[in-house]
Protein backbone atom coordinates (compact mmCIF):
# COMPACT_ATOMS: atom_id res chain seq x y z
CA UNK A 1 0.00 0.00 0.00
CA UNK A 2 1.17 3.48 -0.87
CA UNK A 3 0.15 6.35 1.44
CA UNK A 4 0.97 10.00 0.80
CA UNK A 5 0.35 13.38 2.39
CA UNK A 6 0.69 16.75 0.68
CA UNK A 7 -0.10 20.32 1.66
CA UNK A 8 -1.06 21.60 -1.79
CA UNK A 9 -1.49 25.23 -0.68
CA UNK A 10 -4.68 25.69 -2.74
CA UNK A 11 -5.89 22.76 -4.79
CA UNK A 12 -7.18 24.55 -7.90
CA UNK A 13 -3.88 26.05 -9.13
CA UNK A 14 -2.19 22.79 -8.18
CA UNK A 15 -4.58 20.49 -10.08
CA UNK A 16 -2.39 19.94 -13.18
CA UNK A 17 0.51 18.92 -10.93
CA UNK A 18 -1.70 16.86 -8.64
CA UNK A 19 -3.35 14.92 -11.47
CA UNK A 20 -0.03 14.22 -13.20
CA UNK A 21 1.49 13.08 -9.91
CA UNK A 22 -1.45 10.83 -9.04
CA UNK A 23 -1.45 9.23 -12.48
CA UNK A 24 2.29 8.60 -12.33
CA UNK A 25 2.61 7.46 -8.72
CA UNK A 26 -0.80 5.83 -8.15
CA UNK A 27 -0.85 6.14 -4.35
CA UNK A 28 -3.66 4.20 -2.71
CA UNK A 29 -4.50 6.95 -0.22
CA UNK A 30 -3.59 10.64 -0.34
CA UNK A 31 -4.15 13.15 2.44
CA UNK A 32 -4.36 16.76 1.23
CA UNK A 33 -4.15 19.95 3.27
CA UNK A 34 -4.84 23.62 2.60
CA UNK A 35 -7.24 22.80 -0.21
CA UNK A 36 -8.63 26.34 0.20
CA UNK A 37 -11.92 25.54 -1.49
CA UNK A 38 -15.58 25.18 -0.54
CA UNK A 39 -16.90 21.63 -0.23
CA UNK A 40 -19.14 21.97 -3.28
CA UNK A 41 -16.21 23.02 -5.47
CA UNK A 42 -13.77 20.28 -4.49
CA UNK A 43 -12.72 18.71 -7.84
CA UNK A 44 -14.15 15.26 -7.16
CA UNK A 45 -14.96 14.57 -10.81
CA UNK A 46 -11.38 15.08 -11.98
CA UNK A 47 -10.05 12.87 -9.20
CA UNK A 48 -12.67 10.19 -9.81
CA UNK A 49 -11.40 9.98 -13.38
CA UNK A 50 -8.22 8.52 -11.91
CA UNK A 51 -10.13 6.10 -9.72
CA UNK A 52 -10.22 8.12 -6.50
CA UNK A 53 -13.10 8.57 -4.12
CA UNK A 54 -12.79 11.84 -2.22
CA UNK A 55 -13.95 13.07 1.16
CA UNK A 56 -13.23 16.64 2.17
CA UNK A 57 -14.15 19.50 4.42
CA UNK A 58 -13.56 23.05 3.24
CA UNK A 59 -13.73 26.63 4.42
CA UNK A 60 -13.71 28.68 1.24
CA UNK A 61 -10.37 30.39 0.70
CA UNK A 62 -8.93 29.19 4.01
CA UNK A 63 -7.70 25.89 5.41
CA UNK A 64 -9.46 22.78 4.10
CA UNK A 65 -8.47 19.10 4.19
CA UNK A 66 -9.33 16.07 2.09
CA UNK A 67 -8.65 12.37 1.66
CA UNK A 68 -8.53 10.71 -1.77
CA UNK A 69 -8.59 6.92 -1.90
CA UNK A 70 -8.46 4.19 -4.55
CA UNK A 71 -9.30 1.52 -1.96
CA UNK A 72 -12.60 2.89 -0.68
CA UNK A 73 -13.70 5.52 1.81
CA UNK A 74 -16.02 4.78 4.70
CA UNK A 75 -16.85 6.04 8.19
CA UNK A 76 -15.88 9.64 7.43
CA UNK A 77 -15.42 11.97 10.40
CA UNK A 78 -14.95 15.72 10.07
CA UNK A 79 -13.38 17.81 12.81
CA UNK A 80 -11.92 16.84 16.16
CA UNK A 81 -13.94 16.09 19.25
CA UNK A 82 -12.97 18.76 21.76
CA UNK A 83 -11.93 21.40 19.20
CA UNK A 84 -13.50 24.64 20.44
CA UNK A 85 -12.38 26.63 17.40
CA UNK A 86 -10.65 29.97 17.10
CA UNK A 87 -12.58 33.09 18.05
CA UNK A 88 -15.83 31.15 17.86
CA UNK A 89 -15.18 29.44 14.52
CA UNK A 90 -14.40 25.74 14.19
CA UNK A 91 -12.03 25.62 11.24
CA UNK A 92 -11.74 23.00 8.48
CA UNK A 93 -8.59 21.29 9.70
CA UNK A 94 -9.29 17.59 10.23
CA UNK A 95 -10.96 14.72 8.41
CA UNK A 96 -10.76 11.02 9.15
CA UNK A 97 -11.84 8.02 7.10
CA UNK A 98 -11.46 4.28 6.84
CA UNK A 99 -9.69 3.33 3.60
CA UNK A 100 -9.44 -0.40 3.14
CA UNK A 101 -7.93 -1.73 6.36
CA UNK A 102 -6.46 1.65 7.31
CA UNK A 103 -7.91 4.36 9.51
CA UNK A 104 -6.38 7.62 8.31
CA UNK A 105 -6.63 11.29 9.25
CA UNK A 106 -5.68 14.29 7.12
CA UNK A 107 -4.67 17.12 9.45
CA UNK A 108 -3.80 20.78 9.11
CA UNK A 109 -2.61 21.97 12.50
CA UNK A 110 -3.05 25.70 13.23
CA UNK A 111 0.04 27.80 12.54
CA UNK A 112 0.04 29.58 15.89
CA UNK A 113 1.42 32.83 14.43
CA UNK A 114 3.70 33.66 17.37
CA UNK A 115 4.12 32.54 20.99
CA UNK A 116 1.72 34.44 23.21
CA UNK A 117 -0.76 35.09 20.40
CA UNK A 118 -4.33 33.77 20.90
CA UNK A 119 -3.79 31.61 17.80
CA UNK A 120 -0.85 29.94 19.55
CA UNK A 121 -3.07 29.05 22.50
CA UNK A 122 -5.61 27.72 19.99
CA UNK A 123 -2.88 25.60 18.39
CA UNK A 124 -2.03 23.97 21.71
CA UNK A 125 -5.71 23.32 22.45
CA UNK A 126 -6.14 21.83 18.98
CA UNK A 127 -3.17 19.52 19.48
CA UNK A 128 -4.64 18.44 22.82
CA UNK A 129 -7.92 17.64 21.05
CA UNK A 130 -5.96 15.63 18.48
CA UNK A 131 -4.36 13.64 21.28
CA UNK A 132 -7.82 12.77 22.59
CA UNK A 133 -9.02 11.69 19.16
CA UNK A 134 -5.89 9.61 18.56
CA UNK A 135 -6.30 7.87 21.91
CA UNK A 136 -9.91 7.02 21.06
CA UNK A 137 -8.97 5.77 17.59
CA UNK A 138 -6.30 3.50 19.05
CA UNK A 139 -8.95 1.79 21.16
CA UNK A 140 -10.37 0.35 17.91
CA UNK A 141 -7.25 -1.74 17.38
CA UNK A 142 -7.20 -0.76 13.69
CA UNK A 143 -4.04 0.35 11.82
CA UNK A 144 -3.96 4.14 12.20
CA UNK A 145 -2.11 6.89 10.35
CA UNK A 146 -2.18 10.57 11.28
CA UNK A 147 -0.94 12.52 8.27
CA UNK A 148 -0.57 16.15 7.42
CA UNK A 149 0.94 19.54 8.01
CA UNK A 150 1.56 19.61 11.75
CA UNK A 151 3.21 23.05 11.71
CA UNK A 152 5.67 21.71 14.29
CA UNK A 153 9.25 20.59 13.69
CA UNK A 154 9.78 17.61 16.02
CA UNK A 155 13.40 18.50 16.83
CA UNK A 156 16.14 21.00 16.03
CA UNK A 157 17.38 18.59 13.35
CA UNK A 158 14.12 19.28 11.50
CA UNK A 159 14.86 22.97 10.79
CA UNK A 160 17.63 24.39 8.66
CA UNK A 161 19.05 26.56 11.45
CA UNK A 162 17.63 26.47 14.99
CA UNK A 163 19.07 29.94 15.67
CA UNK A 164 16.71 31.37 13.06
CA UNK A 165 13.68 30.10 14.99
CA UNK A 166 14.37 31.48 18.46
CA UNK A 167 11.15 32.94 19.92
CA UNK A 168 9.18 31.53 16.98
CA UNK A 169 6.37 29.03 16.70
CA UNK A 170 6.88 25.55 15.26
CA UNK A 171 9.80 24.81 17.61
CA UNK A 172 8.61 25.72 21.12
CA UNK A 173 8.81 23.16 23.93
CA UNK A 174 5.02 23.18 24.29
CA UNK A 175 4.45 22.31 20.63
CA UNK A 176 7.08 19.59 20.68
CA UNK A 177 5.64 18.20 23.90
CA UNK A 178 2.30 17.83 22.10
CA UNK A 179 4.02 15.64 19.50
CA UNK A 180 5.80 13.71 22.24
CA UNK A 181 2.42 12.94 23.79
CA UNK A 182 1.31 11.36 20.51
CA UNK A 183 4.39 9.18 20.58
CA UNK A 184 3.62 8.24 24.18
CA UNK A 185 0.34 6.79 22.90
CA UNK A 186 2.40 4.34 20.86
CA UNK A 187 2.42 6.22 17.55
CA UNK A 188 5.65 6.36 15.55
CA UNK A 189 6.98 9.33 13.59
CA UNK A 190 8.05 8.11 10.16
CA UNK A 191 11.13 10.06 9.08
CA UNK A 192 11.33 9.88 5.27
CA UNK A 193 14.39 9.76 3.04
CA UNK A 194 15.17 13.26 1.69
CA UNK A 195 16.40 12.01 -1.75
CA UNK A 196 18.71 15.04 -1.83
CA UNK A 197 20.92 16.56 0.87
CA UNK A 198 20.87 14.88 4.26
CA UNK A 199 17.87 16.73 5.69
CA UNK A 200 14.32 15.41 5.23
CA UNK A 201 12.68 18.82 4.88
CA UNK A 202 9.13 19.02 3.55
CA UNK A 203 8.53 22.79 3.51
CA UNK A 204 10.50 25.70 2.07
CA UNK A 205 9.25 29.29 2.08
CA UNK A 206 8.67 30.75 -1.38
CA UNK A 207 10.84 33.75 -0.56
CA UNK A 208 14.55 34.30 -1.17
CA UNK A 209 15.12 31.07 -3.07
CA UNK A 210 14.84 29.05 0.11
CA UNK A 211 14.08 25.81 -1.73
CA UNK A 212 17.21 25.98 -3.86
CA UNK A 213 19.26 26.85 -0.77
CA UNK A 214 17.56 24.01 1.12
CA UNK A 215 16.49 26.36 3.92
CA UNK A 216 13.55 24.26 4.98
CA UNK A 217 11.71 22.47 7.75
CA UNK A 218 10.22 19.04 8.36
CA UNK A 219 6.68 19.83 9.43
CA UNK A 220 4.66 17.47 7.22
CA UNK A 221 4.50 14.33 9.31
CA UNK A 222 3.11 10.80 9.30
CA UNK A 223 2.41 9.11 12.64
CA UNK A 224 1.52 5.42 12.52
CA UNK A 225 0.79 2.51 14.80
CA UNK A 226 3.53 -0.04 15.52
CA UNK A 227 2.18 -2.63 13.08
CA UNK A 228 2.31 -0.11 10.25
CA UNK A 229 5.80 0.96 11.19
CA UNK A 230 6.92 -2.66 11.04
CA UNK A 231 5.26 -3.06 7.63
CA UNK A 232 6.91 0.07 6.21
CA UNK A 233 9.41 -0.65 3.45
CA UNK A 234 10.15 2.89 2.25
CA UNK A 235 9.39 6.53 2.94
CA UNK A 236 10.61 9.54 1.01
CA UNK A 237 10.00 13.19 0.21
CA UNK A 238 9.07 13.85 -3.42
CA UNK A 239 11.15 17.02 -3.85
CA UNK A 240 10.45 17.11 -7.59
CA UNK A 241 6.94 18.33 -6.83
CA UNK A 242 8.40 21.42 -5.15
CA UNK A 243 10.20 22.36 -8.40
CA UNK A 244 9.01 23.98 -11.60
CA UNK A 245 6.01 26.17 -12.36
CA UNK A 246 3.41 26.97 -9.70
CA UNK A 247 4.55 24.56 -6.99
CA UNK A 248 3.18 24.35 -3.49
CA UNK A 249 5.64 25.44 -0.82
CA UNK A 250 5.41 21.88 0.55
CA UNK A 251 6.55 18.60 -1.01
CA UNK A 252 4.60 15.34 -0.67
CA UNK A 253 5.65 12.69 1.82
CA UNK A 254 5.21 9.17 0.42
CA UNK A 255 5.21 5.98 2.53
CA UNK A 256 5.12 2.42 1.19
CA UNK A 257 3.85 -0.48 3.31
CA UNK A 258 3.89 -4.22 2.67
Q: Which of 71, 67, 69, 73 is nearest to 95 (CA)?
A: 67
d(CA 127, CA 34): 17
pLDDT at position 153, please? 98
Quote the pLDDT of residue 193: 93
Query: How far, rounded to the nearest angstrom, does the alpha carbon of residue 47 sit from its chain's CA centroid?
Result: 19
How many beta carbons lie within 10 A of that of residue 193, not counting itself? 11
CATH no. of 2-257: 3.60.10.10
Packing angle, helices 118-138 and 173-184, rounded to 10:
10
Give the residue among 226, 233, 143 at the shortest CA–CA distance from 183. Answer: 226
Confidence of residue 88 (pLDDT cuts 50, 70, 90): confident
Encode pLDDT of 202-213 as tens digits: 999 999 899 999
Closest CA to 172 of 155, 150, 147, 189: 155
Cβ contacts of 121-125, under 8 Å, gap ≥ 24: 122/85, 122/86, 123/151, 123/169, 123/175, 124/174, 124/175, 124/178, 125/83, 125/84
202: Cα within 13 Å, side-chain hemisphere: 29
pLDDT digits (tens, 9 = 90+) for 1-46: 999 999 999 999 999 999 999 999 999 999 999 999 999 999 999 9
- Read off φ and ψ for residue 204, nearest 5 degrees: -140, 125
Per-domain residue ranges of the chain:
2-257
Instruction: Report the SS3 class of residue 1.
Output: coil
Report pLDDT digits (tens) over 132-155. Answer: 999 999 999 999 999 999 999 999
Name the CA radius of gyration of the chain, rounded.
Answer: 17
Residues 6 or more apart whose CB falls under 8 angstroms from that of 4 comprise 25, 27, 29, 30, 31, 252, 253, 254, 255
Amino acid sequence: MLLATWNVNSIIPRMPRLLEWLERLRPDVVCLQETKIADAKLPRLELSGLGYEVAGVGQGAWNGVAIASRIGIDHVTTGLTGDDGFEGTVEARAIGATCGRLRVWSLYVPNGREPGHPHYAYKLRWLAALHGVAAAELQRGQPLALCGDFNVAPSDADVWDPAEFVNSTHVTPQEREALARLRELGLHDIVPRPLKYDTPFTYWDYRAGNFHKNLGMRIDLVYVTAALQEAMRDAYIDRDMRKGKLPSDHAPVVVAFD
